[in-house]
């Protein structure tokens, strides 16, 4: 543990000195990066000058290659426990751009094993990050093509209905369909709603219509 702490201190000191030098120069289109990019992902970011994340660096754009479950939870709840979490919240408050690679969402790795209620909770946290302004992207090329005018309030992007044609409506069906982006569920007349699905519908204030 002492060795890891020493390495972390050395890395932080290097980043501080590196950041100070950068402040003295005119960097063209800088993009702070937290994490490791593949060669292909880096090629898509030739438009930017890629810089390692540093708390001391006052950048306008940040790309997160990964986000752990604790980090996502803290940010969704509006508080921080690390310099990175603090920077993310501060950048969002200042209207700066924060990108997150979809592959880096740790909680998604447990989709097939996690209890549905726990997975649904983390899914809600992901939705909250989107509402805060975090741009969750599938590939790094979206850092270049994304335009601020594309961002709309959640109410405007929310679709009105989602149709289910099933004999039984399960809670996992609602999670898979990302029902947080819908106001109304349309079910065929023969569809029966399971108790867990009913609870999920109440929790998310959804209305149900039979068709």
Phi–psi pair at 192, nearest 5 degrees: -110, 140
Partners of 187 in the β-ladder? 164, 210
Report which of 142, 128, 114, 123 is spatially closest to residue 47, judged by C-alpha positions.
142
pLDDT of residue 90: 93
pLDDT of residue 155: 46
**For every one of its 211 residues, what pLDDT tens digit does the chain have, with 9 covering 90 and above?**
566 666 666 655 655 555 555 544 556 778 889 988 888 988 888 888 888 887 777 778 999 999 999 999 999 999 899 999 999 999 999 999 999 999 999 999 998 898 888 898 899 899 999 999 999 998 888 887 765 544 444 444 445 556 667 788 887 777 766 555 566 778 777 888 888 888 877 777 777 877 7
Neighbours of 193 (CB within 10 A): 20
Partners of 67 in the β-ladder? 105
Cα distances from 105 to residues 173, 194, 209, in angstroms, run 21, 29, 33
pLDDT of residue 174: 74
- Strand 61-64 to 30-34 pairing: parallel
For residue 207, how far is the Cα from the chain centroid?
27
pLDDT of residue 24: 45
Number of H helices, E strands in the chain: 9, 10
Tell me whether residue 78 is exposed, middle or buried, using C-beta atoms within 10 angstroms of its C-beta: 0 to 12, 13 to 18, 19 or more: exposed
CB contact at 8 A, 60 and 41: no
pLDDT of residue 86: 92
CB contact at 8 A, 104 and 67: yes
pLDDT of residue 153: 47
């Amino acid at each position: 543990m002492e060795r890891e702490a020493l390495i972390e201190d050395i890395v932080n000191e290097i980043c501080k000195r590196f950041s100070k030098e950068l402040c003295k120069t005119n960097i063209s289109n800088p993009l702070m990066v937290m994490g490791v990019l593949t060669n292909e992902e880096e090629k898509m970011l030739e438009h930017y000058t890629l810089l390692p994340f540093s708390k001391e660096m006052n950048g306008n754009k940040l790309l997160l290659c990964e986000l752990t479950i604790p980090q996502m939870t803290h940010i969704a709840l509006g508080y921080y426990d690390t310099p990175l979490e603090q920077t993310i919240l501060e950048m969002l408050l200042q209207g700066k751009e924060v990108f997150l690679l979809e592959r880096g969402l740790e909680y998604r790795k447990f989709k097939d094993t996690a209890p549905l209620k726990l997975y649904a909770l983390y899914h809600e946290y992901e939705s909250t990050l989107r509402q805060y302004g975090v741009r969750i992207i599938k590939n790094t090329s979206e850092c270049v093509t994304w335009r601020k005018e594309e961002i709309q309030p959640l109410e405007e992007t929310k679709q009105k209905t989602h149709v289910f044609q099933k004999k039984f409506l399960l809670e996992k069906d609602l999670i898979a369909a990302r029902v947080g982006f819908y106001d109304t569920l349309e079910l065929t007349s023969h569809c029966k709603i399971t108790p867990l699905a009913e609870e999920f519908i109440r929790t998310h204030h959804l209305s149900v219509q039979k068709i």
